[in-house]
Structure 1
Amino acid sequence: MSTTAVVFALVGAFMVAFSAGSVFFKAKWVVEPMVEYGVPRSWWNLLGAAKAAGAAGLVIGVFVPAIGIAAAIGIALYFSGAVITVLRAKSYAHVAFPLIYAAPAVVALTLGFNG
């Protein structure tokens, strides 16, 4: 795995972990939009856990490429769903945020989780 891919994987892991923590700690800047988008409260902890698992997978992926590949794909799919949710809520100004969180994982995936 190239140094650049490692950096993107670790930056992506940090960003996604921060996003997971924001859900778990019910940060105002995360909770208010989720309510606005119509995301059921019963889903919040599961969504946070999915993000946390993705972040951990990116870190583990530095050492075990198959885990990193799965995590990066999962993160890309998760945040694709977030984009769809934002678009369905007609909150067009917020579309960039899930794309920003997904970008480092997608770059790491593109650069390759291989030896």
Structure 2
Amino acid sequence: MFAAYLVVTLLTSAVNGSAAIANFIGHDYPKSQADKLRVPRSWMRPLGTLLALGALGLLAGFAVPVLGALAAMGLGLYFLGALCAHLRVRDHQLGPWAVFFCLPVAALAVNLAYYGTR
């Protein structure tokens, strides 16, 4: 069970950390998504900060399990908000969103499964 917890958590942290970096450096993809979703570009750094904190919180969960669970929940809520933004502008291309949403949900599930059995 630890192997699944380790892999899912590290993968989720890496993906969200990469997304945070893309927001911070002003990569074209987050900018185009912000424009498509009618989100002000001034929100890119704060949203990137939330992603970065979630990624770091997942890693902190190895030492303090409740932090990992809370970080996974926070990322899940973040991506539910992103879903609302997509639906608000009638954007139904939700493949990338589904990946980003399912990863923290899986991280939460393995966190709870691993630490719940100890």
Q: For residues 24-35 of structure 1, what are the structure 2 equivalents within 5 Å?
A: 24-35=24-35
Q: CA deviation at 1:33?
A: 1.7
Query: In the alignment, which residue of structure 1 is the partner of 2:109?
Result: 110
Q: After TM superposition, what 4+ stretches of structure 1 lie above 4 angstroms from structure 2?
A: none
| 1:38 alignment partner, SS class | coil
| 1:92 alignment partner, SS class | coil
Q: For residues 1-115 of structure 1, what are the structure 2 equivalents within 5 Å?
A: 2-93=2-93, 95-113=94-112, 114=115, 115=118
For residues 60 and 22 of structure 1, what CA distance do their matches in structure 2 show? Answer: 22
| 2:77 alignment partner, SS class | helix
Structure 1 spans left out of the alignment, 5+ residues: none
Q: Does the Cα contact within 8 Å between 1:5 and 1:107 map onto a contact in 2? A: no
Q: CA deviation at 1:98?
A: 2.1
* TM-score when normalising by structure 1: 0.91
Q: Does the Cα contact within 8 Å between 2:31 and 2:41 map onto a contact in 1? A: no
* TM-score when normalising by structure 2: 0.89
Q: Does the Cα contact within 8 Å between 1:9 and 1:62 map onto a contact in 2? A: no
Q: Does the Cα contact within 8 Å between 2:68 and 2:111 map onto a contact in 1? A: no
Q: Relative contact order: is structure 1 or structure 2 higher (C-alpha 8 Å, sep ≥ 6)?
A: 1
**Paired residues, number:** 114
Of the structure 1 ranges 96-105 and 80-89, higher mean CA displacement relative to structure 2 is found in 96-105
Q: CA deviation at 1:57?
A: 0.4
For residues 105 and 82 of structure 2, what CA distance do their matches in structure 1 show? Answer: 15
